[in-house]
A and B are shown apart, each in its own frame.
Chain A
Amino acid sequence: GAVVSQHPSRVICKSGTSVKIECRSLDFQATTMFWYRQFPKQSLMLMATSNEGSKATYEQGVEKDKFLINHASLTLSTLTVTSAHPEDSSFYICSALLGLADYNEQFFGPGTRLTVL
């Protein structure tokens, strides 16, 4: 089946630093990927839609200058949390959209646990 990987799986950083998270579709090409964040015991909140070769589309309330998204190839999207602060600590999950026949299905990565000290 379609596999999506994320790197790193876990990262701890100091407040004020920037962190880059990679999302890769391993065995398929994805023109569209999504980034979510998830707080403990809560649902996934869609942050942005990442489109290969164009600017990401951000959900309302998500700062695009804070969460930089780059989808430079059909198999890689990156999320950079700039000047991270403790409130940015969360579980970040990406997914990649795979078009199958007459519908699209998204496959999720394993997530990245970000802890900002």
Chain B
Amino acid sequence: GENVGLHLPTLSVQEGDNSIINCAYSNSASDYFIWYKQESGKGPQFIIDIRSNMDKRQGQRVTVLLNKTVKHLSLQIAATQPGDSAVYFCAETSPNTGNQFYFGTGTSLTVIP
């Protein structure tokens, strides 16, 4: 599969602080990226997505930034809450992978009350 990796395997933040989770990808043809949240023993849950024609997209408390020049993706969570504790994955797909999504290593976020 494609090489989609995350820089940090674990991240601990204080409740109320902002969290930043990073992801690097290697396929320059990738045109669609998604961030997923996975709680223990459950399937991934969609958080936010971004297409390659954008460099920023905002949702509720979350922002995704895309830097195509360095093939880097980040997820920012504002005012992190205990319920945000989970593993976060980035996934990417490209026209030449036939709709397949390839996942990064994952970052385990722990929110300290």
Contact = CB atoms under 8 A, between A and B. Distances in A.
B32 A103 contact: yes
Interface string A31-62: 01010100001111110010000000101000
Contacts of A107: 46
Contacts of A109: 43
Given A43-B105, A44-B89, A105-B49, A34 B44 contact: no
B59 interface: no
Given A34-B100, A103-B32, A42 B106 contact: yes
Contacts of B34: 105
Contact of B1 (A4, A46, A104): A46
Interface in B95-110: 98-106, 108
B42 A111 contact: yes
Interface residues of B, number: 23
Interface in B1-33: 1, 32
Contact of B101 (A4, A34, A111): A34
Interface in B65-113: 89, 98-106, 108
Contacts of A113: 41
A108 B46 CA distance: 9
Nearest to A102: B51
Interface of A: 4, 6, 32, 34, 36, 41-46, 49, 57, 59, 91, 93, 95, 97, 103-111, 113
Given A107-B46, A108-B36, 15 more contacts: A36-B103, A43-B104, A44-B103, A45-B103, A46-B100, A46-B102, A49-B99, A57-B98, A95-B43, A104-B99, A105-B46, A105-B49, A108-B44, A110-B42, A111-B42
